[in-house]
């Protein structure tokens, strides 16, 4: 026969075990996504004039928009 104190400890272990595992998995996934983010944004530009996004592999910090021709700076975090 299990007394109420042991039952409570068992209940907490069953409840908190999977939750803490899920929490750690989410933290690990977020860290992985943040590590990949600067690489994805490094070639991205946002036009302030026509509000479009465009990519380029050129090393220039300013690049003309292919739609309206406005000069825009590279996106940074």
- Separation of alpha carbons 69 and 71, rounded Å: 7
Q: Which of 61, 68, 71, 73 binds Zn ion (CB under 5 A)?
A: 68
Q: Find the part of the chain contacting Zn ion (CB under 5 A) among 1-9, 21-29, 36-44, 67-75.
A: 67-75
To the nearest whole angstrom, how small is the minimum distance from the Cβ of residue 15 to Zn ion? 53
Could you give the angle at the alpha carbon of 35 between the alpha carbons of 66 and 56, nearest 5°? 15
Contacts (CB under 5 A) with Zn ion, residues 7-66: 47, 49-50, 65
List residues near Zn ion by CB under 5 A.
Answer: 47, 49-50, 65, 67-68, 70
């Amino acid at each position: 026969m299990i007394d109420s104190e042991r039952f409570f400890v068992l209940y907490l272990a069953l409840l908190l075990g999977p939750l803490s595992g899920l929490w750690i998995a989410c933290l690990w996934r977020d860290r992985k996504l943040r590590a990949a983010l600067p690489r994805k944004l490094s070639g991205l530009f946002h036009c302030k004039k026509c509000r479009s996004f465009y990519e380029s592999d050129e090393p220039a910090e300013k690049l003309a928009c292919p739609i309206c021709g406005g000069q825009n700076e590279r996106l940074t975090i």
